[in-house]
Amino acid sequence: MKKNQIIGIISFVVLVTTIVLVAIFWPAKSSKSPVSIEDINAVKLAQHLTDSGAKMYGAYWCSACKQQKDLFGPEAFAKINYVECDPKGQNPQTEECQKEEIGAFPTWKIDGKKYEGVRSLYELAVTSNFK
């Protein structure tokens, strides 16, 4: 092989390697969420969740449920479609909880999927496509 051919092959390998590395590490289209944390209004999010059919399953004695309610605040949480699972709670809907096989509190059901545990307003906004 001639010196020029070797330089050409090395240049080609460097070029291909550069293209591959750029393709791997160059940021793709913005993966920015449709909502920012600063833009979340708890009352509007609560209304959106209710309008989209989301439900929160819980029990009156559940400390994690209280924590979830506190994240919204009383005005916003009043808009949430809340299902009481304990028969001793106010307006219990134990049959629905059993039918939905609720095994932990709180459990959110959003777009047919279950999410167990306390969720931040941001998580709920992203999960429910709040804009």
pLDDT (tens digit per residue) in 37-79? 556 899 999 999 999 999 999 999 999 999 999 999 999 999 9
Identify the sign of the CA torsion 100, 59, 106, 124: positive
Could you tell me the CA-to-CA distances from 62 to 54, 81, 96 in Å, in that order? Answer: 20, 17, 18
Write down the domain spans for the chain: 37-127
CATH superfamily of 37-127: Glutaredoxin (3.40.30.10)
pTM of the model: 0.71
